[in-house]
Amino acid sequence: MKLLAIFLTISSAFFAQQKITGTIFDKSTKQPIPFVSIGIIGKSVGTLSNENGLFEFSFSESQKKDSIKISTIGYKPLVFLVSDFIKEVNKTINLESLPTQLAEVVVRSKKIKYKILGTTKYTKNNCTGFADIEGNWKGSEAAILVKNKKNCFLENFSFFVIQNKYTDSLVFRLNLYSRISPPAGSPAWFGDDWVGPTILKKAIIFKVGTKQGEFTLPLTAYNIQTSDDFFVSLECLMDEMEITKFCYSGSVKTPSFFKVKAFAKWHKTGGRNGGGGADFNVKVSYTD
For position 9, what pLDDT does the model report?
34
Strand-pair partners of 147 = none
Segment 253-264 mean pLDDT: 90
Max Cα distance, the chain (Å): 79
* Region(s) of the chain under CATH 2.60.120: 112-287
Least confident of 51-60, 100-109, 205-214: 100-109
Where residue 121 falls among pLDDT bands split at 50, 70, 90? very high
pLDDT at 140 over 70: yes
- For residues 93 and 287, the model is more confident at 93
Choices 2.60.40.1120, 3.40.50.1820, 2.60.410.10, 1.10.3720.10: CATH for 16-95:
2.60.40.1120
Determine contact, residues 18/31, Cβ cutoff 8 Å: no
Question: What CA–CA distance (Å, rounded) separates 234 from 109?
Answer: 32
> Is domain 112-287 classified as CATH 2.60.120?
yes
Q: Which of 279, 154, 285 is nearest to 217 (CA)?
A: 154
Q: Is the pLDDT of residue 28 over 70?
A: yes
Comma-separated ranges of CATH 2.60.40.1120 domains in the chain = 16-95
What are residue 269's phi and psi, to 5 degrees? -145, 175
Q: What's the pLDDT at 190?
A: 58
Is it the case that residue 256 has pLDDT exceeding 50? yes
Who wins on pLDDT, 287 or 119? 119
User: What's residue 189's pLDDT?
Assistant: 55
Q: Give the three-state DSSP class for 61.
A: helix
